[in-house]
């Protein structure tokens, strides 16, 4: 079985703009979370990534035309920009890695997933469309330019049987529902407008114009002719921009595979690029797919990663309404009060490779050696973890790594500071020995939907590489009483030496997706 090594890594996380800042911050036990201002005054804490894409401008300018950096900033969502940044960081650990990934051709792959996708872009464009649609409906639904509405208003109640499903006039509904009533009223009458139908008939004639002459020259002429005709049409009616003209194409430039695709472009990597999406287990799943591709001989190196947007009101509110987010203004630490988790954004990326091949090329590994990743589905509940599902992933990981549970000396929990922490700890102790030293880090940097598992795994690997398991915000006195009856060997608010043996890490994602990573020190 081919060995796998990590030959570069990068991090964007709360308070951590790169891997060294991440390692330095891990030395302290304090939380990296801060207040969220997305709702105005509120009680939410979040993990906002420390990130400035401008730090990577010189790297991009040295490799691409002068406008590439500007185009990236203008068109790309934070998820993609963060992925590019972590990729550039990862190239820095081994000189010549950039050239090697290019030299490998289709034997270098890129697997970068995201938990929630481009929510900032979707949210912004959705609001732009909403505002444009409101203006459009109010224009065409105005009685001054809508003969159907004029006729309706002039009729008596007995004369209106031909008008069905007319919504109530906004003034006829309670004030609290007036805004929705106005939208329904204007939308209905926009649909009845003969003037709008006249407008659309002319617009269809414009859009029906064909390319004439040579394709290239004819295409440019057609674009200009259509634009001039549309401008005349708008001026004739005095109409606002149609809502479909107000939807930015940034929406389709930032679909789930965009971070992986952009990293392939930045690195000129010609192998498969794709976006595995597995919620909180995304990084572990990407790592498994990368390991499998190398061991099957399809790839020599794979860029694996996960990236999440900075916290938005949309996401924070969704977490809260799902009853998994704390909202009392204080840090909710795993294994303590079980009040809920905190949303975070950022990115994590590793360059993994065929160990022997990379060593022969002169590249040096970092961290630990990932031995195997076990994956499974609960097939039970969308958010509440089962007992069977995670156990299947753990057992698969042990089997694929060819190690026994007794060899495990330390374990990192998924632990979201919710009641699921108790079940996770109970399940773990049915598999591994009581001597296992356990870590839980979402009280440090919060819950990145897809990146969080990668941050936790990187923290574990950095600790082994540098000779100390980093502290967590958890003090021994804060440990939940029920959990304390199960186990008390945790990494608390002081660092400790990494124990001999192999290390485990479990992630459990929304939808019941599980990923368990078994790793060993490089010198074991």
Q: Kindly state whether residues 59 and 206 are assigned to the same domain.
A: no
- DSSP structural state of residue 336: T
- Between the alpha carbon of residue 141 and those of residues 151, 162, 249, 425, the distances in Å are 13, 18, 28, 60
For 426-485, the pLDDT digits (tens) are 999 999 999 999 999 999 999 999 999 999 999 999 999 999 999 999 999 999 999 999
Residue 125 inside a domain? The answer is no
Tell me the CA end-to-end span of the chain in Å, nearest whole number. 16
Residue 429 inside a domain? The answer is yes
For 258-267, the pLDDT digits (tens) are 999 999 999 9
Q: Kindly state whether residues 336 and 417 are assigned to the same domain.
A: yes
Q: Kindly state whether residues 231 and 338 are assigned to the same domain.
A: no
Residue 326 inside a domain? The answer is yes
- Between the alpha carbon of residue 295 and those of residues 4, 128, 229, 292, 375, the distances in Å are 9, 47, 59, 5, 17
User: Cα(190)–Cα(60) distance, rounded to whole angstroms?
Assistant: 48
Q: Kindly state whether residues 334 and 479 are assigned to the same domain.
A: yes
Query: Which token pair is 291?
Result: 């390991």
Residue 126 inside a domain? The answer is no
Give pLDDT, residue 523.
83
User: Cα(59)–Cα(64) distance, rounded to whole angstroms?
Assistant: 9
Residue 187 inside a domain? The answer is yes
Counting the structural domains of the chain, the total is 2
Last residue of a domain, one of 179, 210, 245: 245
Task: Give the range of the structural domain holding residue 85, as residue numbers without chain letter.
Answer: 4-118+254-521
Phi, then psi, of 265 in degrees rounded to 5 = -70, -45
**508, 390 in Cβ contact below 8 A?**
yes
Give pLDDT, residue 14.
98
Query: Which token pair is 321?
Result: 């309404």
Residue 133 inside a domain? The answer is no
Last residue of a domain, one of 245, 278, 293: 245
Q: Kindly state whether residues 423 and 321 are assigned to the same domain.
A: yes
Give pLDDT, residue 54.
98
Nearest to 283 by CA among 441, 516, 451: 451
Last residue of a domain, one of 245, 275, 295: 245
C-beta neighbour count of 73 within 10 angstroms: 12
Q: pLDDT of the chain along its 524 residues, tens only?
A: 899 999 999 999 999 999 999 999 999 999 999 999 999 999 999 999 999 999 999 999 999 999 999 999 999 999 999 999 999 999 999 999 999 999 999 999 999 999 999 999 999 999 999 999 999 999 999 999 999 999 998 888 777 777 778 999 999 999 999 999 999 999 999 999 999 999 999 999 999 988 787 877 778 888 888 999 999 999 999 999 999 999 999 999 999 999 999 999 999 999 999 999 999 999 999 999 999 999 999 999 999 999 999 999 999 999 999 999 999 999 999 999 999 999 999 999 999 999 999 999 999 999 999 999 999 999 999 988 899 999 999 999 999 999 999 999 999 999 999 999 999 999 999 999 999 999 999 999 999 999 999 999 999 999 999 999 999 999 999 999 999 999 999 999 999 999 999 999 999 999 999 999 999 999 87
Q: Kindly state whether residues 313 and 284 are assigned to the same domain.
A: yes
Query: Which token pair is 207?
Result: 């859009």
Residue 328 inside a domain? The answer is yes
Q: Kindly state whether residues 202 and 344 are assigned to the same domain.
A: no
**339, 332 in Cβ contact below 8 A?**
yes
We report the CATH number of the domain holding residue 367 as 3.40.47.10
Query: Strands 513-521, 502-509: parallel, antiparallel or unpaired by DSSP?
Result: antiparallel
Q: DSSP 3-state assignment of 509?
A: strand
Q: Kindly state whether residues 61 and 143 are assigned to the same domain.
A: no
Q: Kindly state whether residues 411 and 511 are assigned to the same domain.
A: yes
Give pLDDT, residue 173.
93
For 204-230, the pLDDT digits (tens) are 999 998 878 787 777 888 888 899 999
Phi, then psi, of 408 in degrees rounded to 5 = -80, 130
| CB-count exposure of residue 379 (10 Å: 0-12, 13-18, 19+) | exposed
Query: Which token pair is 307?
Result: 């990236």
Query: Which token pair is 87?
Result: 């990729």
Give pLDDT, residue 524.
72
Q: Kindly state whether residues 312 and 329 are assigned to the same domain.
A: yes
Residue 310 inside a domain? The answer is yes
Q: Kindly state whether residues 74 and 150 are assigned to the same domain.
A: no
Q: Kindly state whether residues 89 and 147 are assigned to the same domain.
A: no
């Amino acid at each position: 079985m081919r060995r796998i090594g990590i030959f570069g890594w990068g991090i964007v996380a709360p308070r951590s703009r790169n891997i060294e800042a991440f390692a330095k911050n891990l030395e302290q036990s304090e939380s990296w979370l801060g207040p969220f201002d997305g709702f105005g005054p509120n009680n939410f804490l979040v993990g906002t990534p420390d990130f400035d894409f401008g730090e990577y401008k010189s790297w991009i300018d040295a490799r691409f035309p002068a406008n590439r950096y500007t185009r990236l900033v203008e068109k790309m969502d934070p998820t993609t920009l963060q992925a590019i940044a972590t990729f550039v960081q990862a190239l820095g650990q081994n000189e010549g890695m950039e050239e090697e990934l290019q030299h490998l051709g289709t034997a270098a792959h890129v697997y970068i997933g995201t938990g929630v996708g481009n929510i900032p872009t979707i949210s912004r464009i959705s609001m732009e469309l909403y505002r444009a649609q409101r203006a459009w409906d109010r224009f065409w639904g105005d009685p001054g330019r809508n003969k159907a509405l004029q006729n309706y208003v002039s009729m008596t109640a007995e004369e209106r049987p031909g008008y069905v499903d007319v919504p109530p006039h906004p003034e006829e509904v309670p004030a609290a529902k007036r805004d929705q009533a106005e939208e329904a009223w204007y939308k209905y009458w926009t649909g009845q407008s003969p003037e709008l139908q006249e407008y659309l008939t002319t617009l269809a004639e414009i859009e029906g114009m064909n390319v004439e002459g040579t394709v290239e020259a004819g295409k440019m002429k057609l674009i200009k002719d259509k634009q001039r005709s549309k401008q005349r049409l708008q001026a004739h009616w005095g109409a606002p921009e149609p809502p479909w003209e107000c939807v930015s194409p940034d929406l389709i430039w930032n679909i789930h595979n965009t971070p992986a695709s952009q990293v392939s472009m930045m690195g000129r990597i010609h192998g498969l690029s794709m976006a595995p999406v597995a919620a909180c287990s995304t990084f572990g799943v990407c790592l498994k797919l990368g390991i499998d591709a190398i061991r099957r001989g399809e790839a020599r190196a794979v860029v694996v990663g996960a990236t999440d947007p900075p916290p938005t009101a949309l996401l924070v509110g969704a977490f809260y309404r799902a009853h998994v987010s704390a909202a009392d203004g204080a840090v909710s630490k795993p294994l303590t009060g079980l009040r809920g988790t905190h949303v975070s954004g950022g990115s994590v990326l590793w360059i993994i490779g065929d160990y022997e091949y990379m060593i022969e090329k002169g590249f040096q590994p970092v961290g630990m050696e990932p031995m195997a990743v076990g994956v499974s589905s609960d097939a039970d509940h969308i958010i509440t973890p089962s007992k069977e599902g995670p156990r299947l992933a753990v057992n698969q990981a042990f089997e694929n790594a060819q190690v026994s549970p007794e060899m495990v000396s330390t374990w990192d929990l998924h632990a979201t500071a919710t009641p699921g922490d108790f079940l996770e700890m109970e399940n773990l102790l049915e598999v591994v020995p009581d001597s296992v030293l356990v870590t839980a880090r979402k009280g440090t940097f919060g819950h990145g939907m897809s990146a969080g598992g990668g941050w936790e795994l990187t923290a574990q690997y950095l600790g082994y590489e540098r000779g100390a398991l980093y502290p967590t915000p958890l003090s021994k006195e804060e440990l939940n009483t029920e959990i304390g009856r199960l186990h008390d060997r945790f990494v608390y608010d002081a660092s400790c030496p990494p124990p001999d043996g192999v290390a485990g890490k479990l992630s459990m994602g929304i939808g019941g997706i599980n990923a368990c990573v078994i790793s060993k020190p490089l010198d074991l």
